[in-house]
Structure 1
Amino acid sequence: MKISPISEGILMVEFSDIISAETTQCIAAFVDYIQQQYAPFIVEVVPSYTKVMLQYKLSQCDFTQLQQISLKWYQGYNIKRQSISAKVHHLEVYYHPEVGPDLQALARLCQLSIEAVIKLHSRQFYDVGAIGFAPGFAFLSAVDEAIAVPRHSTPRQYVPAGSVGIADQQTAIYPQKSPGGWHIIGNCPQSVFEAQSYPQSCFAIGDKVKFDPIDRSRFLELGGTICPV
């Protein structure tokens, strides 16, 4: 663990320089600990794949105190190697060119059939490693190397809510309509973001996500809509 001051009232806690499920679990445990035990001192906690930014109240604590708190927790975590009981989300996805405009092109690029792309994407559990870019946008890792493709050089101006995309070794669901440069291969009709709820996102760092393929009739039954991209 490396702890560095960023500015007055903000510090960065670095856990690794490598993205891994183990690092994600460690960060999830640390974030939960800080939020549960030191909420009165903390303004904001911002986790990513390998780091956590803490903004704290200068009137109630300082860098040295939080540094000691973090290091003590990490030493205990390494001794216990505590197991995190991750929340698992099963999300239904309609994989089809009418909602996944990049599905066919991605299959050709990877020299696979569309069926093989769907199987590779939906057969595994993904870790929620970071949340950002847009409210409720969860970065999930890691897709099978056979379907890992770089994001589009020119983003689309409009991507419908629920779109499921791939960029490099990550996959994600667009929680709201927005611009985006990921390869869209399907759509999830289940809402993953509620602006009027707290928390707004159904995901938390350390959660796991499994995509379950569905057909068109099930997609429409769940409230999915066929939107041109």
Structure 2
Amino acid sequence: MKKLACVVLSFVFWNIYIPIIRLIYNVFLKIKQRFYPDLEHVIADIVWSDLTLCEEDIAIAYKKLVKAFCREYDVKTPKLIFRQIDPNNMLIGLFEYKPYTISINVEALILNSMNETSGLIARNTMVFVLLHELRHCWQYKYHKEDILYWCETHNHLYNIFYEECPIEIDANEFAKSAGLHDSGDIFNKLPLSLYEDFDKAVGLKEEAEASRKIKKAVAVALNRIYLE
């Protein structure tokens, strides 16, 4: 009898309880994904949508992205504003930590999208810019020292090494990978002391040597071949 009871219980467990548990779990996942989608799914939804590069649609995309991003990375939601950031329309986006805002220049965004206002190129560019600026929000919370160093106390170095400073490399890598490449170790691989050596350099020879070390460190950090 005991053996028969065990067989019956085992049958009930594997053929009734387990399928019910799986069904409940799948329903839970679908509900969660509907109301709390992860960043990867939000990005895919935006890229394959019919959104265009107008302020209204960018605001819709931003609302979706910022909700998923801030929940996933536990950062405060920055306000989105539309404005001309610089007189020459060179800057597409800008994160400012003091007013805690993200500015988007729609005209520059369209120019950077090869003058397309809709389609995959336009939406991919839009997502890249928004993710890039949102990553700066993450940096401000978790690497505040670096943000203040580059954007406030050493802005002159920021202008020189814009493409080779950790905050921009990290933001670019994160945005290019659509949020999949989330490696904050770039700040360890490219310590501020590297750039301090350039700042303290006396004469062109010392500056050139310090600059060479920075370029080599960046190549190593990104697993690229450095050509001297």
TM-score normalized by the length of structure 2: 0.23
TM-score normalized by the length of structure 1: 0.23
Which structure has more strand as a fraction of its residues?
1
Which structure has more helix as a fraction of its residues?
2
State the structure with bigger RCO (CA 8 A, min sep 6), 1 or 2.
1
Larger radius of gyration: 2
